[in-house]
Amino acid sequence: MLKYLIKRLALSVLILVGVSIIIYFLIRLMPVDFVRSKIDNLNQGGAILTEDQVSNMYSMYGLEENPTFGGMVKGYLNWLKALCKFDLGFRFTNGRPVSSEIARYMGTSFAIALIATVFEFLIAIPLGITAATHQYSIRDYVVTVLVMIGISLPSFFFGEVLKNIFAIKLGWFEIAGSLGATGSETGIANLPAYFSHFFLPILTVVILSIGGRMRMTRTNMLEVMNSDYIRTARAKGLKESKVINKHAFRNTLIPIVTTLAGLLPSLFSGALITEQVFNIDGIGNVALKAMNSGDIPFIMGYNMFLALLSVIGVLLSDIMYAVVDPRVKLE
């Protein structure tokens, strides 16, 4: 087990280095030039900048106008050195540390994703199991309809429909997801405000995500139910509930564990489109704005943060295989 973990950790480090190279050079080659936009804004305001001042601005932000390949490699090594010290630099737009900005906006996105994921598993897995155990019944057809809804509806369309009905017309919930001026209370006293602002975004994520999970659970459960050992367990006279819950369901978890690799980064990355629809100050919404404004340090720090979470998620997924399937030996 220890040898396997050391091997996987070493491989994870190599993967992160490779990802950092791709992220750095892709971001440096992006068409949006923050410094040039800032210079144009200063020129429109009446300021006249000399060539030396322009060159100093590029140097101040660690960029060169029309940089050479050697200069980009040097810049990457400097950035990687700072990254190893957990120094993600400062944002171009407001000058704040990137790490503190990620931590600042990550909490809202994490809370929404965590609550939505819990409800997704609590709803999707039981429905997938009951659809498989009652194949071609009314239950199965209802689950199939829900699967089609969850897979087919775009999040921006479904979110706008919920917002129009329950927030604008009925007035049951707030239109925007951010607390804003109504969030003056703290602690338990602020729970009603949080519920009013974040119920619709969470509902949007849950409805649109349970479809794929239900379909996966139903498909895996049907495959397991047709296995020889399930027929043997029934032939021995075991109760149907014990056959399903103890024997079939555990093996159904094996393919589901594979999805855990993407679960961890999804908890922290933010639901970008949903946050846009409900105007939530989450990490996904902030990352999109940073991309549009050419905030290079934030974009690189955010993507490296997601890459780290993805690597950790894959490692945890491999470990969980040994938990749900005793036949798997981590060597």
The DSSP-derived string for 234-251 is HHTT--HHHIIIIIIHHH
73 to each of 25, 61, 68, 76, 80, how far by Cα in Å? 9, 16, 9, 5, 10
Is the distance from CB of 306 to CB of 292 less than 8 angstroms? no
Structure tokens at 18: 């490779």
Tell me the C-alpha distance between 127 and 246, whole Å: 17
| Superfamily for the 101-324 domain | MetI-like (1.10.3720.10)
Tell me the C-alpha distance between 306 and 107, whole Å: 15
**For tokens 């089609």, what's the residue?**
148
What's the chain's average pLDDT?
77
Structure tokens at 217: 């659970």
Tell me the average pLDDT across 27-36: 69
Is the distance from CB of 274 to CB of 205 less than 8 angstroms? yes
Question: pLDDT of 51-68, one tens digit each?
Answer: 777 777 666 555 655 566
Using a CB cutoff of 8 Å and minimum separation of 24, what contacts does 99-102 make?
Answer: 99/301, 101/286, 101/298, 102/283, 102/298, 102/301, 102/302, 102/305
Sign of the four-CA dihedral 190, 287, 56, 41: negative
E strand or H helix that includes residue 107: helix 98-133
pTM value?
Answer: 0.73
In sequence order, what are the beta bridge partners of 97?
90
What does the domain layout of the chain look like in residue ranges? 2-84, 101-324
Other beta carbons within 10 Å of 157: 12
Question: pLDDT of 161-220, one tens digit each?
Answer: 888 888 888 888 877 665 544 444 445 666 777 777 788 888 888 888 887 788 888 888
Other beta carbons within 10 Å of 50: 8
Whether residue 15 is predicted with pLDDT greater than 80 in this model: the reply is yes
The pLDDT score that the predictor gives to residue 205 is: 85
The pLDDT score that the predictor gives to residue 122 is: 87
Is the distance from CB of 42 to CB of 102 less than 8 angstroms? no
The answer for residues whose C-beta is within 8 angstroms of residue 305's C-beta and 6 or more apart is 102, 268
Percent of the chain with pLDDT strictly greater than 90: 0
- Letter for the amino acid at 106? M
The answer for residues whose C-beta is within 8 angstroms of residue 71's C-beta and 6 or more apart is 64
DSSP designation for 173: S
Tell me the C-alpha distance between 257 and 318, whole Å: 8
